[in-house]
Amino acid sequence: MGLNTANDAAIRARWQVIWVKDRRIHRVGTGDDMHEALRLYGLAVASPERTNVTLRCQNMGFPPPVKYRPRVVTFDKPRRLKDGTPVTSVRVVPMAKLNRNGIWWCPFCIQLRRFVFEKGWWTQEQVWMAEPRMRCPICSVSHDSMEVRKWNPLAARLFYAPQTHDPNGPPPRRRRRKPKEDS
């Protein structure tokens, strides 16, 4: 099997148009027919009663725009840190700040979205799982998807160290210890 070229990817992609109408999510799959998907997407966008219209790829994830991708910034002159060590380059991850603000890149919707926190008890392949997860509100892809973890640093941390609280919400309250009584 050769490398994944643009033509090969275009042939393999399966497209779906999703929109919200009357508080229900509607999905229309077009298979590998990109032209039909674009036509349906245009009609859905033009309709005033449809909201959150999305053209979604069902089986392939896409990277975020270049300005949100991790990069290394190099300096012409070395800069010094607070401890005095010189630094000539810094790794910048702009998506980390967006993730902390609750905005995640959905590689299947190809849009920035505010993922929804679910406490747990969801099903995957007819098996009930009791772990919390973050998921896209439109296409329902969760944070433990390889494509989501690839572009969202917070998703990678959640996958390896699951939390029991909503990362978009306030931090969990800490319990206070009762003072010891002298006897």
Q: 88-128 pLDDT, tens per residue?
A: 888 888 998 888 888 899 999 888 989 888 776 656 666 66
- Asked whether residue 77 is assigned to any structural domain, the reply reads no
Please report the pLDDT score of residue 1 as a whole number: 41
Domain interval for residue 109: 95-160
Interval 48-93: pLDDT, tens: 999 888 888 888 888 999 999 988 888 888 887 778 788 888 888 8
- Asked whether residue 165 is assigned to any structural domain, the reply reads no
In whole angstroms, what is the distance from residue 152 CA to residue 101 CA? 12
- Residue whose tokens read 């509100």: 137
- Asked whether residue 52 is assigned to any structural domain, the reply reads yes
- Asked whether residue 64 is assigned to any structural domain, the reply reads no
- Asked whether residue 70 is assigned to any structural domain, the reply reads no
Residue type, 24: R
- Asked whether residue 48 is assigned to any structural domain, the reply reads yes
Specify whether 154 is located in the same domain as 101.
yes
Interval 140-153: pLDDT, tens: 888 888 888 888 88
Specify whether 103 is located in the same domain as 50.
no
Average pLDDT over the chain reads 80
Specify whether 102 is located in the same domain as 156.
yes
User: What's the average model confidence in pLDDT over 150-174?
Assistant: 67
- Asked whether residue 5 is assigned to any structural domain, the reply reads no
Specify whether 102 is located in the same domain as 155.
yes
- Asked whether residue 137 is assigned to any structural domain, the reply reads yes
In this predicted structure, which of 22-36, 56-70, 168-182 has the lowest mean pLDDT? 168-182
Please report the pLDDT score of residue 42 as a whole number: 92
Domain count across the chain: 2
Contact between 28 and 17 (Cβ < 8 Å): yes
Alpha helices in the chain (DSSP H): 6-12, 34-46, 94-100, 146-151, 153-160
Give the confidence band of 161 by pLDDT, cuts at 50, 70, 90.
low
Give yes or no for residue 160 having a pLDDT over 60.
Answer: no
pTM of the model: 0.69
